[in-house]
Amino acid sequence: MRRAFPEVSDDAFASWSWQVKNRIDDVEGLARVFELTDEEREGFARTRSVFRFGVTPYYAALADPRDPSCPIRRQIVPRPEEATVRIGELADPLGEVPREVVPNLVHRYPDRVLLLSTDRCPVYCRFCTRRRIVGRTERQSTRALLDEAFEYIAEHDEIREVIVSGGDALMLGDNQIDHMLERIRSAPHVDLVRIGTRMPVTCPMRVTPRLISVLSKYKPVYVMTHFNHVKECTAEAEAACAALIDAGVVVYNQTVLLRGINDDVESIAALNRRLVRMRVTPYYLHQCDMAEGIEHFRTPLATGLEIIDGLRGHMSGLAVPQFCVDVPGGLGKVTMLPEWVVAKDGRATTFRTYTGSSARYLDPEDVDSSKRGS
């Protein structure tokens, strides 16, 4: 896998600090790993001021050196389309700016807050919908800056859950993470911490024994990772997830539906089958947000519905995620299902099933008809 980096020792390649320090951050660096097409080179030229480029040697080495449509390659290499902003696309598609109650803390739902702990990521995904902030400065938030967020969490006892995201929350060092979780957990009303990170995918060597021992102190800790394609489920990625899970960290996955990368039943089925084998539970299949410059990644809503239709019943329900749309404006996430109900008539509801047959369910007779939602 790492034939593109023959001069690097195995120990260095397996160290996350080496991966982050040696991140490939320009077109020449990537061209040393594989030959770029003219279109890819144009993508670099046109997006220089649009969104930062960066990829770990580990993740770059997963890309197919010959096939520009490789699902890994599509996630990391800029394309010229990114420079085009379409009508309806938004810099802040999820309305996070107006809901930022103190610096770096978004309070959108009554009992959950989102902490933007860093703007850095090991890999800058070309479809990132938080591109307005991610990779902008590549400076860590200072402790003082996050202090206000910790105070807000302590003062609001309706907050039950803190989602530590970014950027990639695990770009922070172990001591910073320790300090952050300690501050969050010192609020007695916080039931759990959720950490959003792509590290198991883009830099699995980040999951070290030291990180595990830090996270283990603050259970329940949920790690929400972000696999988009089965090609990302390498032995290293699997070992990282296993180490977290064996230590009692709960690992869920969120996938973004991406045109030309994973937008068909077979891709999502293969990915999720593999994830459950890795003990990682598929949580959301996300509809791509309406962020600026990523229309070429977006699929129509019907595609997500067709995928769920193709999974439900055909494979383990454990491997079927919820199809989630974070509606523009930050008004909340909604989930969508294919239409399973084909008719309603009084007590009777007629369903179609995954095989295409139909069946009728009768509501109990001895309840008030106003309780039947028909």
Binding mask 276-315 for ligand PLP (x = CB under 6 A): ----------------------------------------
| Least distance (Å) between residue 17 CB and ligand PLP | 30
* Chain CA centroid to CA 92, Å: 17
The span from the CA of 372 to the CA of 256, in Å, is: 36
Label residue 241 exposed, middle or buried (CB < 10 Å: 0-12, 13-18, 19+): buried
User: Residue 221 binds what, of ligand PLP, ligand SF4, none (CB under 5 to 8 Å, by partner type)?
Assistant: none
Q: Does residue 297 bind ligand SF4 (CB under 6 A)?
A: no
Query: Between residue 155 and residue 174, which ones bind ligand PLP under the rule CB under 6 A?
Result: 163
Catalytic residue (one of 128, 203, 241, 288): 128
Is residue 333 flagged as an active site residue?
yes
| Least distance (Å) between residue 207 CB and ligand PLP | 22
Helix (H) or strand (E) holding 107: strand 105-109
User: Residue 108 binds what, of ligand PLP, ligand SF4, none (CB under 5 to 8 Å, by partner type)?
Assistant: ligand PLP
Instruction: Determine the interface stretch with ligand PLP among 85-93, 105-113, 203-211, 263-271 (rule: CB under 6 A).
Output: 105-113
The residue from 30, 36, 70, 106 that contacts ligand PLP (CB under 6 A) is: 106
The span from the CA of 342 to the CA of 361, in Å, is: 12
Binding mask 121-150 for ligand SF4 (x = CB under 6 A): x--xx--x-x---x----------------
Measuring CA to CA, which residue among 247, 242, 188 is closest to residue 221? Answer: 247
Sign of the torsion angle spanned by Cα atoms 336, 338, 343, 349: negative
Choice between 112 and 352, CB closer to ligand PLP:
112
The residue from 57, 167, 204, 321 that contacts ligand SF4 (CB under 6 A) is: 167
Q: Does residue 223 bind ligand SF4 (CB under 6 A)?
A: no
* Chain CA centroid to CA 142, Å: 25
Helix (H) or strand (E) holding 352: strand 348-352
Is residue 198 flagged as an active site residue?
no
The residue from 198, 231, 286, 298 that contacts ligand SF4 (CB under 6 A) is: 198
Label residue 19 exposed, middle or buried (CB < 10 Å: 0-12, 13-18, 19+): buried
**What are the b/e assignments for 126-143, b being 16+ CB within 10 Å?**
bbbbbbbbbbeeeebbee
CB-based contact 258:252 (threshold 8 Å): no
The residue count for binding ligand SF4 (CB under 6 A) is: 10
The span from the CA of 26 to the CA of 48, in Å, is: 10
Is residue 32 flagged as an active site residue?
no
Q: Does residue 108 bind ligand PLP (CB under 6 A)?
A: yes
The span from the CA of 264 to the CA of 29, in Å, is: 32
Check residue 357 and report its DSSP letter: -
The span from the CA of 339 to the CA of 176, in Å, is: 47
The residue from 168, 232, 292, 326 that contacts ligand SF4 (CB under 6 A) is: 168
- Give contact residues for ligand PLP (rule: CB under 6 A): 94, 106, 108-109, 112, 114, 163, 333
Active site residues: 108-109, 112, 121, 125, 128, 130, 289, 326, 333
